[in-house]
Every structure is written in C-alpha cells, then in structure tokens.
C-alpha cells in the first residue's frame, strides 16, 4: 500500500484522536497528517500538539461556505478523513473530495441522527433499558449517520449500568477497534 495521509476531525476531548495517532505513530504507510477542529478550546488540539501533529481550527462560515478547508487538505496531500467526535454536519464539498469515515457510539440505525451524540446516546440507551449497546463505524454521506456501515461491535448493558458506565464500555470498544478498521479500509482502497 503506498503511503496514505489521513486527517482527523474532532470537536472535543479527542481520546480517539490520540489513540489513532499512537496506533499509526511508527507506521510508514499511514501518516496522521493533521488534526482539525471547529472548537478552538477543544482538548484534542492539545493532545495533537503533544505528538507534534499539525492542528487547524476553522469557523462555521469557513467550513460551510468556502473551499478553504478542502483546498488546505488537498495542498497537504490528505486523501482520507476520519471523524472522531466531530459534531458538525459535513458539507458536500468535503464529501465530494474525500473518503470520510465516522464513528458513532451506538448500534446504528438505532440511536443515530440529530441530537444523538456523546452522553445523550448513552442516557437514551439506559432510559430505554437496552440490554446491549456498541459502536458503529461508517462511511459519511450527506445524511451523516446513514452512510454505509463498515463495522459494528457490541457490549452488554446491565440493568445497574449508569450512562457513564455505558460510555466507558463504548470508549473501550472504540479504542480497541477504530484504528484497526481505519487501517483495513485504507488497505482495501488500494
């Protein structure tokens, strides 16, 4: 596989971003080129800087109504985008120019769509007394959480589990599987 440059997009803490950077750190075929955020105070930016990964912050107008992000990504030779806790909808110019994958902290199509992110998902799962939850990794299209599913993994939800307990189990699944799934998608694209 020739060398692939990937960009990571996140809006918050970035534990998945750090996990992906660490996973590919000494990988000659997959390079984490940069980390992008809509949130100038997102902790993910600090995490990236600790690994000397270039970071970019953009505003809503720049992201939704200009080609600046697309042009910058192309200029840097990025050809694959990973959303890891990125909260904005992806504009069509980005979808048309890059293969994009996203991770969702539930078993899509359940618990997806508007407002279903972060703890909202785990609260709904507990409130509905679900006996299992999990992660979904999917390609991103204009409908966001409805893109083609690539991978899912499940975890049990006990009657005694709080939303935080579920969140912890989900984060464990994400950190275990997301980098490997990214690597496989990149290999399959060759």
* 14 versus 179: smaller Cβ distance to ligand GRF: 14
- Residue 133 binding ligand GRF, by CB under 6 A: no
Which of residues 105 and 147 has its CB atom nearest to ligand GRF in the complex? Answer: 105
Minimum distance of ligand GRF from residue 75's CB (angstroms): 26
Instruction: Give dist(CA 54, CA 47) in Å, integer.
Output: 11
Binding of ligand GRF at residue 134 (CB under 6 A)? no
Q: Which stretch binds ligand GRF (CB under 6 A): 5-13, 32-40, 58-66, 73-81?
A: 5-13
Q: What are the residue ranges of helices labelled H in the chain?
A: 15-23, 43-50, 60-65, 68-75, 92-97, 119-127, 163-188
Distance CA 152, CA 24 (A): 21
Return the exposure string of 89-111: e unless at least 16 CB atoms fall within 10 Å of the residue's CB, then b.
ebbebbbebbebbbbbbbbbebb
- Residue 84 sits in the site that holds ligand GRF (CB under 6 A): yes
Does residue 112 belong to the site contacting ligand GRF (CB under 6 A)? no
Q: Centre a 10 Å sphere on the Cβ of residue 1 and count the other Cβ atoms it contains.
A: 12
Question: Is 104 in the active site?
Answer: yes
Considering the complex, state which of residue 22 and residue 68 has its C-beta at the smaller distance from ligand GRF. 22
Q: Check binding of 16 to ligand GRF (CB under 6 A).
A: yes
Total number of residues shown for the chain: 190
Of residues 104, 122, 171, 175, which has the active-site annotation?
Answer: 104
Q: Is residue 85 at the binding interface for ligand GRF, with CB under 6 A as the rule? A: yes
Whole-angstrom distance, CA of residue 39 vs CA of residue 86: 10
Residues 6 and 178: beta-carbon distance below 8 Å? no
Residues that bind ligand GRF (CB under 6 A): 10, 12-17, 84-85, 103-105, 118, 170, 174
């Amino acid at each position: 596989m020739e060398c692939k440059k990937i960009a990571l997009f996140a809006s918050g803490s970035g534990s998945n971003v750090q996990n992906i950077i660490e996973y590919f750190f000494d990988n000659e075929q997959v390079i984490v080129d940069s980390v992008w955020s809509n949130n100038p105070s997102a902790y993910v930016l600090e995490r990236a800087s600790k690994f000397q990964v270039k970071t970019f912050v953009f505003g809503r107008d720049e992201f939704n109504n200009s080609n600046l992000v697309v042009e910058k990504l192309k200029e840097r030779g990025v050809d694959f985008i990973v959303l890891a806790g990125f909260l904005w909808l992806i504009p069509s110019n980005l979808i048309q120019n890059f293969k994009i994958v996203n991770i969702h902290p539930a078993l899509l199509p359940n618990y997806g769509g508007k407002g279903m992110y972060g703890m909202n998902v785990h609260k709904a799962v507990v409130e509905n007394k679900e006996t299992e939850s999990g992660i979904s990794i999917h390609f991103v299209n204009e409908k966001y959480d409805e893109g083609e599913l690539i991978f899912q993994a499940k975890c049990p939800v006990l009657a005694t589990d709080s939303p935080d307990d579920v969140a912890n189990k989900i984060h464990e699944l994400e950190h275990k599987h997301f980098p490997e799934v990214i690597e496989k998608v990149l290999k399959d694209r060759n």
